[in-house]
């Protein structure tokens, strides 16, 4: 899959959240989306996920313009929101069953169990989501996307709720997705972790793209661009 | 300081002038030239306001429907402005119709209000489109409000024939139900000179309506321009 | 996955959630019964007049009870940003509409199945043989209510003063249904059959079909951001 973002802009009322955004993504890229609060990271992710519509500009997947009228495209995109997008009063397994059915994927019990086991939640499969901690909810979301296998996976600030093993789980999942030819875009404030995982970095500042490069070692241009908006120079 | 009127302002000015002249002419005709009604006397003259008012209101609601449909299809802001403007004017003319009907009712029937088919229908119309305006004002996000209002504009208009049918059947309980037949079509059994007065009145109202609509539409356009300029400045 | 299979999946999910929490059903249920009691104090329900007043009172009760259900209808989607999850997915808006409308219909029918006979008992109506016709009319009217109500519930989802706005936009549009069901029921309770009021049933059916179709076609636009 190729993702092309063409002069994308989004305004909310009198303010531009994103302006003049151009981006080109190819299969296997794992992109770190960085920037201070309010830079437009979440807005960009929501636009790519089709949750909001652009004010101007277009998003293209494999040269097909993305709009809500094309459900087939939506099936190939995922958004990993750490503790969200789960029904509190359904069990973990029922949630997985629901979403796999919705996306027309394999939803038989053994498949769901296998996914639960991979994220370490097999024992909690019959528990209501309301009774799971946020770390476990995040693992459940990972299980969900494991089953749904999106070609483009958007990730919004996952590190806040995960413990050590959860972080390892997430990162191995994301690496796996990239290796399979998927595209990952991850917004996060945990710069060092994200950079170790990703092979490309994009910085947004005040709604504009100020930096876009593939990872290098060493990376002086990144250090310079990044230090410009973070007073302490990253975590 | 002399201002150069642009062509469109000039046209609007002409329309406004025409409207004013037509309304004055129509008033003279309705009050002086047209004969008094054989049964109702002078009170009947309010029909020259009442009937055109409600017809204009229906025209307005049709424009809401058209604007709403176009907006949902093409998402051009101007269709939304048209729908909003037409809804406001529709409410105005509906309210006028009710007041005029009430003024006519008092000397004729002895009461300010009665639940006859026409008045009830008019009241329901008023409620529907007041609801439309409230919906618009209670949704924060402009674009969402526009879409929601457009859907309501279409649904409301689709409901109008059904409301007509049900209210007329309700008021003519033991007659076989028939489609859209009020007790009499407005222009049957009307004396020709009254018909002339009615036509003159209707034309004057039409001119007045389009003048007001153009003004209100321009207001909407200007508002959009302000938003666009503020966005430009914020870029 | 077809529209109907998607709708069924969503309906399964909502039914499961309702079975677990029983938020909506119990509240609607007791509210409906409570209204009957209030009517008893508010109106002079003398035995000779009760048959004429029954349709109106019942429908008032169902309207308010149904509105409660509509207000709760998208609750599961409002927590955890679940509506976003649905928007993200390849779900057809029409399927969501069908599922939610059917769900509210199920709740209302369950309430009606209890409240109508209860009304008969509480107010000593002896017309038990007319219950089938009464249920038929109620069903057609309830379908209309649920169909239009689901649309309005979704439209007002992100508005301020939502609980007030929903009845404000819904009730005027419901007038054909209100008139049709009440007139029909009156005739049935008076004469035992529909007679020349059968036209009302056709109106109801027309209403249901028109807005069901409109809802399925238009719902994608209703839920978008």
Are A87 and C13 in contact (CB < 8 Å)? yes
Whether residue B176 is predicted with pLDDT greater than 60 in this model: the reply is no
> If pLDDT is split at 50, 70 and 90, which confidence band does B179 have?
very low
**What's the sign of the alpha-carbon dihedral C88, C90, C93, C99?**
negative
CB B210 within 8 A of CB B20: no
Residues of chain B neighbouring A16 (CB-CB closer than 8 A): 231, 234-235
Q: How far is B80 from chain C (nearest CA, A)?
A: 15
pLDDT at B126 over 70: yes
C222/B148 touch (CB, cutoff 8 Å), yes or no? yes
pLDDT of A117: 92
CB A60 within 8 A of CB A26: no
Least confident interval from B8-12, B223-227, C71-75, C152-156: B8-12
Average pLDDT, chain A: 88
What total number of domains does chain C contain?
1
DSSP conformational letter for B41: B
Chosen from B74, B131, B145 to mutate, greatest number of chain C CBs within 10 A = B131
Kindly state the average pLDDT of the residues B120-142.
93
Nearest-neighbour CA in chain A from B72: distance (Å) = 13
**Closest chain B residue by Cα to residue A18:** B235
Query: Any CB–CB contact under 8 A between C180 and chain B?
Result: yes
**Contact status, residue A45 vs residue A187, Cβ threshold 8 Å:** yes
- pLDDT band, very low/low/confident/very high, at B188 (cuts 50, 70, 90): low
Whether C172 contacts chain B with CB within 8 A: yes
pLDDT at A230: 63
| Confidence grade of residue B181 (pLDDT, cut at 50, 70, 90) | very low
Of A75-89, A214-228, B200-214, C203-217, minimum mean pLDDT range: A214-228
- Mean pLDDT, rounded, for A35-56: 89
Chain B, residues 208-227, CB within 8 A of chain A, namely 227
> What pLDDT sits at residue B89?
96
Chain C residues within 8 Å of chain A (Cβ atoms): 1, 6, 9, 13, 16-17, 20-21, 76, 79-82, 84-92, 220, 224-225
Helices (H), B177-235: 192-234
Q: Which residue of B has its CA nearest to A9?
A: B235
Q: Which pLDDT value is given to residue B233?
A: 78
d(CA A190, CA C3): 42
| Contact check, Cβ <8 Å, B162/C159 | no
Q: pLDDT digit string (tens) for A81-133? A: 888 899 999 999 999 999 999 998 888 989 999 999 999 899 988 999 999 98
CB atoms within 10 A of CB B188: 6
What is the average pLDDT value for chain B, to the nearest integer?
84
pLDDT of residue C196: 76
Please give the pLDDT value at position B119: 85
Percent pLDDT > 70 in chain B is: 88
**Min Cα–Cα distance to chain B from A38, Å:** 15
The domain ranges of chain B are 50-180+193-234
Complex ipTM? 0.90
Q: What is the pLDDT of residue B180?
A: 37
Which of A133-137, A150-154, A155-159, B45-49 reaches the highest mean pLDDT? A150-154
Instruction: Please report residues of A whose CB lies closer than 8 A to that of C81.
Output: 81, 84-85
Q: For residue A165, give Cα distances in angstroms to A141, A170, C30, C93.
A: 15, 9, 48, 38
Instruction: List the single residue in A with minimal CA-CA distance to C80.
Output: A84
Cβ-defined contact of A16 to B235 (cutoff 8 Å): yes
Residue C135 belongs to domain spanning? 3-223
- Which residues, 6 or more positions from A75, have their beta carbon under 8 angstroms from its beta carbon? A103, A104, A150, C89, C90
Over residues A22-27, the mean pLDDT reads 91
Which residues partner with A155 through β-bridges?
Answer: A80, A186
- Rounded-to-integer distance, Cα C31 and Cα C45, Å: 20
Q: CB-CB: which of B127, B150, B177 is closest to C172?
A: B127
Percentage of chain A lying above the pLDDT 90 cut = 43
Beta carbons of C80 and A87 less than 8 Å apart: yes
**Number of CB atoms found within 10 A of residue C44's CB:** 8
Q: Does B229 touch chain A (CB under 8 A)?
A: no
The secondary structure of residue A229, as a DSSP letter, is T
Q: Which of B77, B143, B223, B233 to mutate to test the interface with A (most CBs of A within 10 A)?
A: B143
Neighbours of chain A (3+ CB pairs under 8 A): B, C
Which of B143-147, C7-11, C37-41, C145-149 shows the lowest per-residue confidence on average (mean pLDDT)? C37-41
Chain A hits for B143, CB-CB cut-off 8 Å, are 53
| pLDDT tens sequence across B71-116 | 999 989 999 999 999 999 999 999 999 998 888 888 877 888 888 7
Write the pLDDT tens digit of every residue in B156-168. 999 999 998 888 8
B180 touches chain A (CB under 8 A): no
For B176, which of C175, C196, C224 is closest by C-beta distance? C196
B230 part of contact set with chain A, CB < 8 Å: yes
Q: Residue C50 — pLDDT band, cuts 50, 70, 90?
A: confident
CA–CA dist B189, A223 (Å, integer): 88
Inspect the interface and report whether the beta carbons of B128 and C207 lie closer than 8 Å.
no
Minimal Cα–Cα distance from C19 to chain B, Å? 32
Residue A192 has pLDDT above 90, yes or no: no
Interface check for C156 against chain B (CB to CB < 8 A): the answer is yes
Res B5 pLDDT > 60: no
**pLDDT for residue A233:** 47
What is the 8-class DSSP label of residue C159? B
User: Which one is predicted more confidently, A219 or B3?
Assistant: A219
pLDDT digits (tens, 9 = 90+) for C111-147: 999 999 999 888 888 888 888 889 999 999 999 999 9
A14 contact residues in B (CB cutoff 8 A): 227, 230-231, 234
Strand partners, A211: A203
Contact C81 A85 (CB under 8 A): yes
Contacts A–C by Cβ distance under 8 A? 77
| Position B128 confidence tier, pLDDT thresholds 50, 70, 90 | very high
- Min CA distance, C225 vs chain B (Å)? 6
């Amino acid at each position: 899959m190729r993702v092309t973002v063409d002069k994308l802009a989004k305004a909310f009322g009198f303010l531009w959240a994103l302006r003049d955004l151009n981006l080109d993504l190819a299969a296997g890229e794992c992109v770190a989306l960085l920037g201070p609060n309010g830079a437009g990271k979440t807005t960009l992710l929501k636009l790519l996920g089709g949750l909001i519509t652009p004010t101007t500009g277009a998003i293209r997947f494999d040269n097909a313009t993305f709009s809500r009228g094309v459900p087939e495209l939506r099936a190939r995109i995922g958004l990993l929101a750490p503790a969200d997008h789960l029904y509190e009063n359904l069990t973990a397994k029922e949630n997985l069953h629901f979403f796999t059915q919705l996306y027309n994927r394999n939803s038989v019990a053994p498949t769901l169990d296998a996914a639960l086991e991979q994220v370490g939640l097999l024992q909690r499969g019959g528990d209501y989501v309301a009774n799971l901690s946020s770390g476990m909810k995040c693992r459940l979301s990972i299980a969900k996307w494991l089953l749904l296998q999106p070609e483009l996976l958007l990730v919004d600030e996952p590190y806040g709720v995960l413990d050590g093993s959860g972080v390892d789980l997430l990162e191995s999942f994301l690496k796996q997705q990239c290796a399979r030819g998927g595209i990952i875009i991850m917004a996060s404030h945990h710069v060092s972790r994200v950079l170790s995982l990703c092979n490309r970095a994009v910085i947004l500042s005040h709604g504009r793209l100020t930096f876009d490069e593939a990872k290098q070692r060493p990376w002086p241009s990144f250090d310079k661009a990044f230090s410009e908006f973070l007073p302490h120079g990253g975590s | 300081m002399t201002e150069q009127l642009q062509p469109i302002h000039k046209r609007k000015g002409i329309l406004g002038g025409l409207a004013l002249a037509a309304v004055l002419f129509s008033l003279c005709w309705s009050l002086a030239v047209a004969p008094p009604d054989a049964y109702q006397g002078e009170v009947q003259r309010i029909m020259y306001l009442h009937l055109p008012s409600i017809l204009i209101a229906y025209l307005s609601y049709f424009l809401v429907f058209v604007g709403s449909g176009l907006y949902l299809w093409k998402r051009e802001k101007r269709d939304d402005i048209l729908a909003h403007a037409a809804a406001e004017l529709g409410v105005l003319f509906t309210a006028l119709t009710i007041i005029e009907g009430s003024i006519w009712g008092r000397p004729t029937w002895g009461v300010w209000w009665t639940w006859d088919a026409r008045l009830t229908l008019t009241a329901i119309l008023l409620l529907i489109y007041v609801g439309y305006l409230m919906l618009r004002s209670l949704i924060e996000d402009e674009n969402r409000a526009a879409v929601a209002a457009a859907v309501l504009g279409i649904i409301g208009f689709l409901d109008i024939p059904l409301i007509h049918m049900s209210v007329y059947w309700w008021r003519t309980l033991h007659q076989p139900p028939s489609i859209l037949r009020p007790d009499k079509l407005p222009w049957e059994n009307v004396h020709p000179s009254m018909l002339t007065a009615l036509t003159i009145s209707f034309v004057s109202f039409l001119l007045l309506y389009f003048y007001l609509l153009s003004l209100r539409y321009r207001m909407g356009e200007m508002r959009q321009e302000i938003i666009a300029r503020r966005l430009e400045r914020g870029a | 996955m077809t529209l109907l299979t998607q709708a069924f999946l969503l309906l399964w999910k909502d039914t499961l959630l309702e079975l677990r929490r029983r938020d909506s059903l119990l509240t609607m249920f007791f509210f409906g019964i409570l209204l009957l009691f209030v009517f008893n104090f508010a109106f002079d329900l003398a035995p000779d007049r009760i048959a004429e007043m029954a349709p109106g009172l019942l429908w008032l009760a169902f309207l308010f009870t149904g509105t409660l259900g509509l207000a709760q209808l998208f609750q599961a989607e409002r927590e955890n940003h679940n509506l976003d999850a649905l928007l993200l997915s390849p779900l057809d808006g029409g399927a969501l509409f069908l599922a939610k409308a059917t769900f509210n219909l199920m709740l209302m029918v369950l309430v009606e199945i209890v409240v109508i006979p209860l009304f008969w008992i509480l107010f000593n109506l002896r017309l038990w043989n007319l219950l089938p016709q009464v249920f038929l009319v109620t069903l057609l009217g309830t379908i209309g209510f649920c169909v239009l109500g689901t649309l309005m519930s979704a439209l007002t989802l992100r508005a301020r003063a939502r609980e007030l706005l929903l009845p404000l936009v819904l009730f005027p549009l419901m007038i054909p249904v209100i008139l049709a069901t009440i007139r029909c029921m009156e005739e049935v309770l008076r004469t035992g059959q529909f007679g020349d009021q059968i036209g009302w049933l056709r109106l109801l059916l027309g209403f249901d079909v028109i807005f069901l179709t409109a809802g399925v076609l238009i719902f994608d636009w209703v839920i978008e951001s």
